[in-house]
Amino acid sequence: MVATPQPQRDANPDKLELRQLLENSFHNHDLVTMAPGSPVPLLKGHIWLVVRGMTKLVTSSMNGDEALLGLVGPGEPFGEPLSQVDPYEAITLSQCDLLCLRWSEFTSNPSLSRGMLLATAKRYRQVEALLALVGQRRVEERLRSFFELMASEYGQPCEQGVRISVRLTHQDLANLLGTTRVTVTRFIGQLRDQGWLEVEHSRHVVVKSAQKR
């Protein structure tokens, strides 16, 4: 069984440094606010930065099946210069405040280049973790590992355990884990019956195994 990670907090120095860089450098830039479920236009030579909210990155196969490439949260970048996947789409999972910046703004500013390196390293670690969990044989293990990863990356401690701020549909989870929506629904029900997780009325998942002891 995968060891339960501890939820990250804003005390993370890399995250604080990148946030400060963004606030100092782009306080005069206008934020783009997008509703949940909105496609984000991926402009050539431009990078999007998430200020608030969550966005998913997806691709699709020739038969139309969608595959989840990753999740992008506050202080994290995505955009055309950072991917060679085709097709490549970004869709907001919640109401998002985003910044759209020219790639040249990063390459010409040493401080922002360092901030981009920190953010890209975090995304790289997430991709490695997702690849590792998809390789697990049992779907239940993949699902547990994914919720543990999300609790670590995007969780907030609460009375019951750790509440995951990302809200993914069962179909999103199925696309990511290489299974079916029905199977995901069944295993989430089993994990809930076991007391391992709780699904709130808001559809947020609380991982109880991550509760501090």
pLDDT at position 28:
53
Residue ranges of domains in the chain: 13-131, 138-210
pLDDT at position 143:
93
Judged by DSSP in three states, 203 sits in coil
Output the tens digit of pLDDT for each of the chain's 213 residues.
Answer: 333 334 444 445 555 555 566 656 565 567 899 998 899 999 999 999 888 888 989 888 777 777 778 888 888 889 999 888 888 899 998 889 998 988 888 788 787 777 778 888 887 888 888 888 878 889 999 999 999 988 988 888 998 899 988 888 898 888 878 889 999 999 999 999 999 999 988 888 999 865 443
pLDDT at position 106:
77
pLDDT at position 209:
66
Q: Is 138-210 a CATH 3.40.50.280 domain? A: no
Q: Do domains 13-131 and 138-210 have the same CATH topology?
A: no
φ, ψ (nearest 5 deg) of residue 194: -75, -10
Domain 13-131: give its CATH architecture.
Answer: Sandwich (2.60)
pTM: 0.71
Q: Tell which residue, 94, 11, 109, 89, has the closest CA to residue 48.
A: 89
Judged by DSSP in three states, 3 sits in coil
φ, ψ (nearest 5 deg) of residue 166: -80, 130
Maximum C-alpha span of the chain: 54
Using the CB atoms, write b or e for 178-187: b if 16+ within 10 Å: ebeeebbeeb
Contacts 24+ apart (CB under 8 A), 12-16: 14/118, 14/121, 14/122, 15/75, 15/122
